[in-house]
Amino acid sequence: MQTQARDLIAQKDKNGGDRIAGVLATGPNGNMQIRAGLTIGADGRHSILREKSGLKVKELGAPFDVLWLSLPFKSGDPVDLVGRIQGGAFFVMICRGDYWQCAFGIPKGGFDTIRAEGITAFRAKLRAVAGFAADRMDIITGFDQVKLLTVAVNRLEQWARHGLLMIGDAAHAMSPAGGVGINLAIQDAVATANILGPVLLKSVPKLSDLKKVQKRRAFPTRIIQTFQLFVQNVMLAPTLRAKQTPKVPFVVRLLNAWPWARQWPARLLGIGPRPEHVRLQKR
């Protein structure tokens, strides 16, 4: 896995149209060409293949960035998802067994200011919002323990052109709201295998075959991104702008009062609106 794709190889097909015929890449032994009848672009939210493809991106907006960090899990801690909102800050903790994966929301582009203020000031900000986890912030000794996620929410208008199909974050960068980017990326891959597998056994897929993947996966992508935009624009962004701790949104109060209702958002996020199942192909 030490080979980086740098560019797409474009060539004319027999009808004079442009088609993608593989990638230019750089590996441990230098530059190479990898030729293929079908190239799948699955190189993530900063996709170089997407940039080189000329496919048009629709930006949906992301008003904040997220800093990710790990904190130790202590016995007696809860194991449920923790979300805390304090005037100007939100903090989410996901229990990963022996540690907490934590997300600290900051205004868009605000990481440079936080770094300039220093690690002591940053720890104080975390302590103010972290509730029961405020007692373990000394573990954060430098910004190398903090990973910036520049939040982007976007999607390609067309996921494919002749010889090339984009899937996962490369086709639709997801907001961290709900933590479902991986679910969608894997489901895209399963749908791609189900749709294109039988075609590949016989020939090189046509553009109309590649478009079937987008047709199947665009709907769940749109639904989940709409949900994420609601969470980030209506619930999280106003929190970051607020000086005081804002009122708990109605939806959250409802879910708090009726625990049984939590299964619906959990189902929407965990399984998604159009779950995929691997279909075994007969040769």
Binding site for ligand FAD (CB under 6 A): 4-5, 42-44, 48, 68, 147, 149, 168-170, 174, 176, 179-183, 185
- Tokens linked to 56: 């048009």
Q: Which amino acid is at 171?
A: A
Residue with tokens 């607020």: 242
| Shortest Å distance, C-beta 138 to ligand FAD | 23
Question: Taking the complex as a whole, how short is the minimal distance between the CB of residue 26 and ligand FAD, in angstroms?
Answer: 9
Give the residue with the Cβ less far from ligand FAD, 42 or 240: 42
- Using the minimum distance from each CB to ligand FAD, give the nearer residue, 85 or 167: 167
Nearer to ligand FAD, 74 or 96 (CB): 96
Q: How far is the CB of 27 from ligand FAD (least distance, A)?
A: 10
The distance of closest approach from Cβ of residue 72 to ligand FAD in the complex, given in angstroms and rounded to an integer, is: 18
Contact present, 170 and 48 (Cβ < 8 Å): no
Contacting residues for 211 by C-beta, under 8 A, at least 6 apart: 158, 159, 160
Structure tokens at 212: 């079937």
Minimum Å distance from CB 101 to ligand FAD? 6
Q: Residue 61 Cβ, how far from ligand FAD at the closest point, in Å?
A: 17
Pairing type for strands 164-166 and 39-41 reads parallel
Q: Select 12 or 147, whichever has its Cβ closest to ligand FAD.
A: 147
- Closer to ligand FAD by CB, 196 or 198: give it: 196
Taking CB atoms, the residue at the shortest distance from ligand FAD is 181
**245, 194 Cβ separation under 8 angstroms:** no
Q: Which is nearer to ligand FAD, 150 or 247 (CB)?
A: 150
Distance CA(142)–CA(207), nearest Å, equals 49
Find, among 110, 60, 102, the residue nearest to 231 by Cα. 60
Query: Do strands 154-156 and 160-161 pair parallel, antiparallel, or not at all (unpaired)?
Result: unpaired
CB 91 within 8 Å of CB 126: yes
Q: How far is the CB of 3 from ligand FAD (least distance, A)?
A: 6
Q: Which is nearer to ligand FAD, 241 or 267 (CB)?
A: 267
C-alpha distances out from residue 230 to 29, 217, 221, Å? 47, 20, 14
